[in-house]
Protein backbone atom coordinates (compact mmCIF):
# COMPACT_ATOMS: atom_id res chain seq x y z
CA UNK A 1 0.00 0.00 0.00
CA UNK A 2 1.30 3.41 -0.94
CA UNK A 3 2.12 5.49 2.11
CA UNK A 4 1.54 9.20 2.25
CA UNK A 5 4.73 11.00 1.42
CA UNK A 6 5.97 14.42 0.52
CA UNK A 7 5.55 15.03 -3.19
CA UNK A 8 4.28 17.51 -5.67
CA UNK A 9 2.51 16.38 -8.82
CA UNK A 10 1.80 18.12 -12.11
CA UNK A 11 -0.14 16.58 -14.99
CA UNK A 12 0.66 17.70 -18.49
CA UNK A 13 0.68 16.59 -22.08
CA UNK A 14 3.95 15.30 -23.46
CA UNK A 15 3.29 16.94 -26.82
CA UNK A 16 2.70 13.54 -28.39
CA UNK A 17 -0.84 13.19 -27.08
CA UNK A 18 0.24 11.31 -23.94
CA UNK A 19 -0.53 12.40 -20.42
CA UNK A 20 2.49 12.33 -18.14
CA UNK A 21 2.86 13.05 -14.47
CA UNK A 22 5.77 15.03 -13.09
CA UNK A 23 6.50 14.52 -9.40
CA UNK A 24 9.06 15.69 -6.88
CA UNK A 25 9.71 13.03 -4.26
CA UNK A 26 11.40 13.54 -0.90
CA UNK A 27 13.60 10.80 0.54
CA UNK A 28 15.28 11.78 3.84
CA UNK A 29 18.21 9.39 3.33
CA UNK A 30 19.52 11.20 0.24
CA UNK A 31 22.81 12.76 1.30
CA UNK A 32 25.06 13.07 -1.76
CA UNK A 33 25.36 12.91 -5.53
CA UNK A 34 26.07 9.16 -5.31
CA UNK A 35 22.63 8.72 -3.73
CA UNK A 36 21.06 10.60 -6.64
CA UNK A 37 22.96 8.43 -9.15
CA UNK A 38 21.80 5.25 -7.39
CA UNK A 39 18.18 6.40 -7.54
CA UNK A 40 18.55 7.42 -11.19
CA UNK A 41 19.91 3.95 -12.06
CA UNK A 42 17.12 2.15 -10.19
CA UNK A 43 14.37 4.25 -11.78
CA UNK A 44 15.84 3.88 -15.26
CA UNK A 45 14.91 0.19 -15.08
CA UNK A 46 11.20 1.08 -14.89
CA UNK A 47 9.27 1.48 -18.13
CA UNK A 48 7.73 4.90 -18.53
CA UNK A 49 9.98 6.74 -16.05
CA UNK A 50 12.21 9.68 -16.98
CA UNK A 51 14.57 10.99 -14.29
CA UNK A 52 14.73 14.79 -14.46
CA UNK A 53 17.12 15.55 -11.61
CA UNK A 54 17.89 15.45 -7.93
CA UNK A 55 19.21 17.64 -5.14
CA UNK A 56 21.00 16.19 -2.10
CA UNK A 57 20.52 19.41 -0.11
CA UNK A 58 16.73 19.27 -0.37
CA UNK A 59 16.72 15.43 -0.40
CA UNK A 60 14.46 15.47 -3.45
CA UNK A 61 14.34 13.88 -6.88
CA UNK A 62 12.09 14.96 -9.74
CA UNK A 63 10.79 12.48 -12.28
CA UNK A 64 8.33 12.35 -15.12
CA UNK A 65 6.34 9.15 -15.63
CA UNK A 66 3.52 7.69 -17.68
CA UNK A 67 0.79 6.50 -15.28
CA UNK A 68 -0.39 3.99 -17.91
CA UNK A 69 2.98 2.21 -17.72
CA UNK A 70 4.07 2.58 -14.10
CA UNK A 71 2.52 3.49 -10.75
CA UNK A 72 3.83 5.67 -7.95
CA UNK A 73 3.79 2.53 -5.78
CA UNK A 74 6.25 0.85 -8.18
CA UNK A 75 8.46 3.94 -8.14
CA UNK A 76 8.37 4.04 -4.35
CA UNK A 77 9.24 0.33 -4.17
CA UNK A 78 12.22 0.77 -6.51
CA UNK A 79 13.57 3.60 -4.34
CA UNK A 80 13.01 1.64 -1.11
CA UNK A 81 14.83 -1.39 -2.53
CA UNK A 82 17.87 0.84 -3.07
CA UNK A 83 17.70 2.15 0.50
CA UNK A 84 15.86 5.41 -0.09
CA UNK A 85 12.36 5.21 1.39
CA UNK A 86 10.15 8.22 0.78
CA UNK A 87 9.29 10.67 3.55
CA UNK A 88 6.03 9.81 5.10
Distance separating alpha carbons of residues 65 and 31, to the nearest angstrom: 24
Q: What is the pLDDT of residues 42-73, one digit of tens each?
A: 999 999 999 999 999 999 999 999 999 999 99
The pTM for the full model equals 0.80
- List the domain boundaries for the chain: 24-81
Helix (H) or strand (E) holding 12: strand 7-13
* All residues at 6 or more sequence positions from 36 whose CB lies less than 8 Å from its CB, including other chains: 30, 54, 55, 56, 61
Report the topology of domain 24-81: Alpha-Beta Plaits (3.30.70)
Q: What is the pLDDT of residues 23-45, one digit of tens each?
A: 999 999 999 999 999 999 999 99
Amino acid sequence: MLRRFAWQRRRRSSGRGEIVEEVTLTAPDISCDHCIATIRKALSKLAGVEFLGGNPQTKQVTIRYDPLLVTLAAIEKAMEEEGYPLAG
